Structure 1
Amino acid sequence: MTTRTIPAVFREQVAKLHSRPMIYSRRDRHWRPLTWLQINERVDAAAAGLLDLGIASGERVAIIGQSSVEWVIADLAILSIGAATVAISETASMEDIDWILSDSGVKAVFIGEADILERVAGEMGRFPETHHLFAFHTAVKILDGLDTEHLSLLKLENLGRTSTHLSSIPGRIDGIKPSDLMTLIYTSGTTGQPKGVMISHENMTSNCEACLRAISISHEDVLLSFLPLSHSFERMAGYYMPCFFGGATIYYSCGMDRLLEDLEEVRPTLMTGVPRLYEKVYRRAQTVRRQFTPAKRLAMGAALSVGARLSRKHQAGRQAGKTLNWQYAWLRDKIFRDLHDRLGGRLRILVSGGAALAPEIAEFFFSSGVLILEGYGLTETSPVVSVNRPESYRFGSVGQALDNVRVRIAHDGEIMVKAPSVMQGYWKQPSITRAVLSDDGWLATGDIGRVDRDGFVWITDRKKDLFKDSGGRYVAPQRVESLLRLEPMIEQACLIGDNRPYCIALIVPAMTELEAWAKKKKLFFRDPESLLREPKIRRIIDESVNRVNQRLAKHETVRDFELIAEAFSTQESLLTPSLKIRRDRVVARYADRIDRVYLAKKKP
């Protein structure tokens, strides 16, 4: 059992790495570093400022904002006084933000988005327990029109630097118990209100320690972070574990729009990501491949074939011969050098989580010289349950359980987990907690899967996502959707078929590729909607769907589809922060169009 807390582990690393850069952030087109000592000084100042304003140990403080150095400082300041961080995605709907602020009873809120700050400040009467708002630099201009009691983060730090509480911070950290609440992370929830998952310091530190034993990370590593810190996956795997436990340096990307540029500039050795990112890279590579000369297409096919043969030997635990290793290295350098350089040229590991990764994508990246290690977890398990290791992996699986995690399969196929990382429960929801967490500590994950004889965990689908067609046959939609997204002209897909005679799909095409194709063919269109009405475009998608159907059982096949011009997004609450489909909300949004597809199919 761990006896450490997150702020205590941070202080240990400050003592070891004091003058080394801890975090780089991009300001004025330049990467600017802050050392461990500089971060520590700002954290102590902000923590003292919070105490000066009456925020006490055991209370809760929220953060709403993009991943940044200010997010980290605010988080560590909150934890250093013994309070708990309530992490909220900046893309959450205002309805969800209102609910979380009210339900958690936060005393203060750090906000990095100007529109959210203005909205929350204008409705403070709805949050009677919330007394202070603090603005990150991205929202600070809004403060001029608000009450003087609201401060920027920098002014909070300045307040703390003259506070009598400043010298008490180390002692307060020593007084925090591992069993104390560290954070509330609200699950996105496809039905009903989001639930606050209660994670203690012990929950989080035990998961970090086990993950570090599974994947070695050191102070020589550089991690590029672009996923939201409000999500448990990035917070543990892209922040606490690599940085506080491994000593790695973190660069905070400006977001997906700048990710490729950031990769080339930062040249990371590690990165966490979600399948959607890797799918985009794979789809782009397939588009480029079609433009190659026949000879180059053959060479790329050979490189992929050799990479697949080598990876399968590794996955089976067998040694590869010198010839195969030489072929792999030569073809990788000749065929994939450009891709490798665009990823920075130093990546040794990509970690994938949040949703299922297609084995074809893992094989492709391996052939290019980069290993993707897919893992599995839940917010309720802080979050990692299992992960593939560099020396022991199987594409398509989510790896073996961490060394302090026990996994068993229930009679109905549901994955059950017992570990020191399993949550304390749901905030103010004892009956819902009892429904998923037994008295002896076993958590019902809601996922269906199996464990093979070597201990690798394989996920079938979310229990709640499995559906039966009207003939009573089960369909696992995530696998079908994953196969559809492998097609170069398909960006997103949502399979429909619950209690229906057959399956159809809502498909968001890869509009950039489609528009380029249409212009090349001199196909006139006014806007994306008009382009999708073109019969030639529908035939392209139909060919993609037919290729996927050849890999499916008859009752799983996609019999028809509806093309959607606007991508499913977190802003529209159709995706979770980890970019998984909120199936119920998608179905509700497009109910009329779904019904029209089924009705049209019935017509003679």
Structure 2
Amino acid sequence: MREYSVPVLVDVPLSATMTDTVFQRADEEPGVVALRRKTGDDWTAVTAKEFRDQVAGVAKGLIAAGLEPGDRVALMSRTRYEWTVIDYAIWSAGAVGVPIYETSSADQVKWIISDSGAKAVFVELESHEETVRESVSELPELKNVWRIEGGALDELTASGSGVSDETLAERRTARGGTDLATIVYTSGTTGRPKGCRLTHDNLLFTARNVAQGPLESLFTEEGRAALLFLPLAHSFARIIEVVLVETGTILAHTPNMKNVGPDLQGFRPTFLLGVPRVFEKVYNGAEQKATADGKGKIFHAAADTAVAWSRARSAGGPGLGLKLKHAAFDKLVYGKLRAATGGRLSVAVSGGSALGERLGHFFRGVGIEVFEGWGLTETSAPSTVNLPGANKIGTVGKPFPGVTIGIGEDGEVLVKGRHLFDGYWNNAEATAEAIDTDGWFHTGDVGELDKDGYLRITGRKKEIIVTAAGKNVAPAPMEDHIRAHPLVSQALVVGDDRPFVAALVTLDPEALEQWKAANGKAGATLAELSTDPAVLAEVQKAVDTANKFVSKAEQIKKFTVLDVDITEESGHVTPTLKVKRNIVMRDFAKDIDALYG
């Protein structure tokens, strides 16, 4: 078995807990700005002392409410300032946080609260509270429901005024690295979500080895600031939250994805966290705007130049002619794209699924370098990441310090390290299936390690399609190529036990609005556009592009465009924008059958 290890950089003591930095910084640098929260159109500074005091106040309220060390407290909310306060307050009270996506159904909420045995739950909105209340009669362990928008944090702070600082300190410092910090439920592309037990040491070891290791330069520059908009219920955004707090990087939140554009310009971050679909939308939006303004040719020439310039950087450096073209387009195009992000953003981290080489090279050519990483909830989010100065676009980077990556005989990616979860909550059987007797966690991803230790993910073990002719096909790379088209929302490659490979495609309603205006079809519905010859021709271009990268036997022979989009709201996509393959195949079985009729 091929393996690659990177030595531990920061040996975090097992006595350390998630709250240490928050309380120490407030004592040592009380006036330093730790976070900014949006109030109206302004970004109000929150000092280290103010943040610590708010965390302590809510934590005392939790203690006064009867929460004991190790009790589970659920949190159902969008990404917002109060999430971070509550997260650290739960840890300060010695309790265990259980995040829940704010888009979760009543059945999902009931399952997570019931399975975790949560004694209390924070919700953001009245609608969330109603969702929880629907199941209260079936949740005997649940004692309290607190609503953020209902003033819960102030009420808890007031109710905890009788709890002394000494009592809080005793509660907070009684926890250690081996104690449970959080139970994060997998988003569940198949079956019931499983609760991943992550300890204080899992999170701290990960955060400190990432922050002081491969990505240190991202968090040490003057004026460093990050805007979080991905759901904090997901382990990827959550570990970045911890990294930002640990490094003193100014943290801000955007609860509404539609406000990301204006908030980028208002807050002006130096660092951004995203998933590939976010970067795809940025590119597609810029392309469509340029086309609508009659500058499509200029944009495409600029995009090609950005990609060529970035590729040349990886191959020894661009020549004089390419440098001059790149400089010209920097004034015409790239500078405007950077200005749209606030003008200070130069780096971003992408995870969740494959970014795609062309997109990675495009953004680096524009002046915003995207470092792709990889990991799972079970590995405290990251296991590998690309490095500043050593970014091998098209890979997900090297293991971060303290991690070993192995490739099994069947190509499965295996992981070892202190960041590895403590097992699945209430599910010893699933834990035994995931972690073998040698301590390797079996990720279910398929990949390869190059000679320098960079990992490339090539697909999911359970998603490999085997056609009727016995040909093995990895659907993910082809789906990525199709989804890169501006008009495409999602793509699902099918063909298991079928005579050939085919695909289901959905259209992006937002992108279609500009396309309809530009093509004289303003009143057309999504259903009408799904059979429109001009739209089908555009999708065919995307399929043709995907087919260039595979053998003839793997190529997509037919596709159908669905007359609806598949989204998180429809139940077909996870909150991190991964398609729930089995659900889509079940709900659109007739459409799949028609492809082979």
Q: TM-score, normalised by structure 1?
A: 0.91
Residues 518/323 of structure 1: CA separation in 2 closer, same or farther (3 Å cut): closer
1:504 CA drift (Å): 1.8
Percent sequence identity over aligned pairs: 31
Q: Secondary structure at the match of 2:19?
A: helix
1:267 and 2:268 aligned = yes
1:48 and 2:60 aligned = yes
Q: 1: CA distance between counterparts of 2:504 and 2:271?
A: 34
Q: 2: CA distance between counterparts of 1:563 and 1:555?
A: 22
Structure 2 equivalent of residue 147 of structure 1: none
Q: Secondary structure at the match of 1:198?
A: strand
Amino acid of the residue matched to residue 113 of structure 2?
Answer: L
Question: How does 1:219-230 map onto structure 2 within 5 Å?
Answer: 220-230=223-233
Match of 1:108 among 91, 98, 120: 120
1:159 and 2:169 aligned = no
1:498 CA drift (Å): 1.6
Q: 1: CA distance between counterparts of 2:205 and 2:324?
A: 41
Q: Secondary structure at the match of 2:176?
A: coil
Quick check: 2:312–2:318 contact (8 Å CA) kept in 1? yes
Deviations 1:81-123 (CA, angstroms, capped at 9, x unpaired): 2111011111122211111110000010000132120132243
Question: How does 1:327-476 map onto structure 2 within 5 Å?
Answer: 328-476=326-474
Q: 2: CA distance between counterparts of 1:559 and 1:130?
A: 53
What 5-or-longer segments of structure 1 have no aligned partner? 141-150, 600-604
Amino acid of the residue matched to residue 230 of structure 1?
Answer: A
Question: How does 1:81-120 map onto structure 2 within 5 Å?
Answer: 81-120=93-132
Deviates more, 1:37-46 or 1:282-291: 282-291
1:211 and 2:190 aligned = no
1:403 CA drift (Å): 1.7
1:291 CA drift (Å): 5.1
Quick check: 2:504–2:562 contact (8 Å CA) kept in 1? yes
Q: 2: CA distance between counterparts of 1:530 and 1:20?
A: 56
Quick check: 1:417–1:442 contact (8 Å CA) kept in 2? yes
Q: 1: CA distance between counterparts of 2:97 and 2:511?
A: 42
1:313 CA drift (Å): 4.6
Structure 2 equivalent of residue 26 of structure 1: 38
Q: Secondary structure at the match of 1:6?
A: coil
Q: Secondary structure at the match of 2:373?
A: strand
Quick check: 1:569–1:575 contact (8 Å CA) kept in 2? yes
1:425 CA drift (Å): 0.3
Amino acid of the residue matched to residue 53 of structure 2?
Answer: E
Quick check: 2:516–2:524 contact (8 Å CA) kept in 1? no
1:200 and 2:202 aligned = no
Quick check: 1:93–1:573 contact (8 Å CA) kept in 2? no
1:300 CA drift (Å): 4.8
Q: 1: CA distance between counterparts of 2:53 and 2:562?
A: 50
Residues 598/227 of structure 1: CA separation in 2 closer, same or farther (3 Å cut): same
Structure 1 equivalent of residue 281 of structure 2: 280
Residues 221/531 of structure 1: CA separation in 2 closer, same or farther (3 Å cut): same
Residues 19/325 of structure 1: CA separation in 2 closer, same or farther (3 Å cut): farther
Residues 171/329 of structure 1: CA separation in 2 closer, same or farther (3 Å cut): farther
Aligned length: 581
1:381 CA drift (Å): 0.5
Structure 1 equivalent of residue 234 of structure 2: 231
Quick check: 2:96–2:181 contact (8 Å CA) kept in 1? yes
Residues 550/89 of structure 1: CA separation in 2 closer, same or farther (3 Å cut): same
Q: Secondary structure at the match of 2:574?
A: coil
Q: 2: CA distance between counterparts of 1:131 and 1:483?
A: 49
1:543 CA drift (Å): 3.4
1:372 CA drift (Å): 0.4
Q: 2: CA distance between counterparts of 1:324 and 1:442?
A: 46
Work out which structure has the larger RCO, using CA pairs closer than 8 Å and 6 or more positions apart in sequence: 2
1:547 CA drift (Å): 3.5
1:494 and 2:492 aligned = yes
Structure 2 equivalent of residue 146 of structure 1: none
1:12 CA drift (Å): 2.6
Q: 1: CA distance between counterparts of 2:320 and 2:31?
A: 44
1:164 CA drift (Å): 2.8
Q: Secondary structure at the match of 2:363?
A: helix
Q: 2: CA distance between counterparts of 1:32 and 1:240?
A: 21
1:2 and 2:3 aligned = no
1:524 CA drift (Å): 6.7
Q: Secondary structure at the match of 2:463?
A: coil
Structure 1 equivalent of residue 4 of structure 2: none
Quick check: 1:45–1:159 contact (8 Å CA) kept in 2? no
Deviates more, 1:562-571 or 1:43-52: 562-571
Q: 2: CA distance between counterparts of 1:380 and 1:369?
A: 33
1:333 CA drift (Å): 3.1
Q: 1: CA distance between counterparts of 2:550 and 2:236?
A: 31
Q: 1: CA distance between counterparts of 2:288 and 2:526?
A: 20
Q: Secondary structure at the match of 2:584?
A: helix
Amino acid of the residue matched to residue 260 of structure 2?
Answer: L
Q: 2: CA distance between counterparts of 1:524 and 1:312?
A: 39
Structure 1 equivalent of residue 7 of structure 2: none
Q: 1: CA distance between counterparts of 2:518 and 2:329?
A: 31
Q: Secondary structure at the match of 1:357?
A: coil
Q: 1: CA distance between counterparts of 2:470 and 2:523?
A: 43
1:330 CA drift (Å): 4.5
Quick check: 2:184–2:195 contact (8 Å CA) kept in 1? yes
Q: Secondary structure at the match of 2:233?
A: coil
Q: 2: CA distance between counterparts of 1:325 and 1:169?
A: 59
Amino acid of the residue matched to residue 438 of structure 1?
Answer: D
Q: 2: CA distance between counterparts of 1:512 and 1:262?
A: 20
1:526 CA drift (Å): 5.1
1:528 and 2:538 aligned = no
Structure 2 equivalent of residue 241 of structure 1: 243
Structure 1 equivalent of residue 558 of structure 2: 560
Q: 2: CA distance between counterparts of 1:440 and 1:10?
A: 37
1:221 CA drift (Å): 0.8
Amino acid of the residue matched to residue 101 of structure 2?
Answer: S
Quick check: 2:106–2:132 contact (8 Å CA) kept in 1? no
Q: 1: CA distance between counterparts of 2:443 and 2:285?
A: 34
Pairwise CA RMSD: 2.1
Deviates more, 1:198-207 or 1:85-94: 85-94
1:438 CA drift (Å): 2.4
1:257 CA drift (Å): 0.7
Q: 2: CA distance between counterparts of 1:292 and 1:522?
A: 15
Q: 1: CA distance between counterparts of 2:326 and 2:364?
A: 10
Q: 2: CA distance between counterparts of 1:287 and 1:393?
A: 29
Residues 97/285 of structure 1: CA separation in 2 closer, same or farther (3 Å cut): same
Quick check: 1:408–1:417 contact (8 Å CA) kept in 2? yes
Quick check: 2:435–2:442 contact (8 Å CA) kept in 1? yes
Structure 1 equivalent of residue 5 of structure 2: none
1:546 and 2:549 aligned = no
Structure 2 equivalent of residue 144 of structure 1: none
1:491 CA drift (Å): 2.1
Q: 2: CA distance between counterparts of 1:511 and 1:298?
A: 24
Deviations 1:324-365 (CA, angstroms, capped at 9, x unpaired): 656544432333111110011111211001111011111111
Amino acid of the residue matched to residue 556 of structure 2?
Answer: V
1:279 CA drift (Å): 0.5
Structure 1 equivalent of residue 143 of structure 2: 131
1:499 CA drift (Å): 1.6
Residues 70/471 of structure 1: CA separation in 2 closer, same or farther (3 Å cut): same
Quick check: 2:62–2:156 contact (8 Å CA) kept in 1? yes
Q: 1: CA distance between counterparts of 2:491 and 2:433?
A: 32
Deviates more, 1:506-515 or 1:348-357: 506-515
1:269 CA drift (Å): 0.2
1:572 CA drift (Å): 2.5
Amino acid of the residue matched to residue 120 of structure 2?
Answer: A
Q: TM-score, normalised by structure 2?
A: 0.92
